Amino acid sequence: MRRKLVAGNWKMNGDLATNARLLDRLAGAWTRAERRSLAVCVPAPYLAQAQAALQDSAVAWGAQDVSEHRSGAYTGDVSAGMLVEFGCRYAIVGHSERRQGHGETDARVAAKARAALTAGLTPIACVGETLDERERGDTEAIVRRQLAALIAVLGGDTGRIVVAYEPVWAIGTGRTAEPADAQAVHTKLRAQLLAAGAGAVSILYGGSVKAANAAALLAMPDIDGALVGGASLDADEFLAIGRA
């Protein structure tokens, strides 16, 4: 069954005091009776803090990236096994800020998703086109290629991931995809997943999601939740998106 999930991606934001206030608000306000799952993906140094604050709550937590390697000489990287030790349920892989800023290829993103699954984490695998690609009419080809790379590596385990469609031009810009445009891309992704025997994968939308636009996006039949950046740093906004 497609799980409804609203996940926050804090990116490189936060400090111990601010996090404590935000995590406590979420832990206190979000109950197991909610119809959706709520999660926060925090910077790696704050995983222990998230674990301590959220372990008795209905809010899950995760990381923003994971190494494709199990262990070894990979300076600065964090393995899936380490994330599991801190109680993570999720690891974002293939965020556009890592594809662009860290040169992550489709193949590497797929290897990261595989490493996450092997350790028992749920990868939230991001796909999405740049503004140039959209204007050239290449949106469908780009996201199809990105998802195909995941399916090629994950095979029968594709059904165990979460996909996030994040048009790069909508990230942090205040420019959200129109619900119908996002739905159109989600429909294509759904068809590709179905063909791979993974039609029940949840597909999140990400890119300038706010409390004010969440309900319209989440009302679309193939939008199963949201991956929220900036608005996830504000407890009221984030909770409102979770309940939209």
Which spans of this chain sit near ligand 13P (rule: CB under 6 A)?
A: 9, 95, 166, 171-172, 206-209, 227-231
Residue 161 beta carbon to ligand 13P: minimum distance, rounded to whole angstroms: 15
Those residues with Cβ within 8 angstroms of residue 134's Cβ, 6 or more apart along the chain or in another chain: 167, 169
| Nearest to ligand 13P of 69, 89 (CB atom) | 89
Q: Looking at beta carbons only, is 62 or 206 nearer to ligand 13P?
A: 206
Sign of CA dihedral 103, 227, 157, 114: positive
Q: Least separation, in Å, of the C-beta of 63 and ligand 13P? A: 13
Q: Which of 95, 104, 129, 186 is catalytic?
A: 95
Q: Which residues contact 203 (CB under 8 A, 6 or more apart)?
A: 162, 163, 164, 165, 186, 189, 190, 193, 222, 223, 224
State the Cα–Cα distance between residues 3 and 147, nearest whole angstrom: 19
Which of the following is catalytic: 68, 97, 129, 166?
Answer: 166
Q: Which residues contact 151 (CB under 8 A, 6 or more apart)?
A: 158, 192, 193, 196, 198
166 is catalytic: yes
Q: How far is the CB of 199 from ligand 13P (least distance, A)?
A: 24
Q: Which of 64/183 has CB closer to ligand 13P?
A: 64
Token pair 């595989």 in the structure block, residue: 114
Nearest distance from residue 75's CB to ligand 13P, in Å? 25
Q: Which residue's Cβ lies closest to ligand 13P?
A: 229
Nearer to ligand 13P, 61 or 196 (CB): 61
Residue 196 or 204: the one with the smaller Cβ distance to ligand 13P is 204
Q: How far is the CB of 134 from ligand 13P (least distance, A)?
A: 16
Which residue numbers are catalytic?
Answer: 95, 166
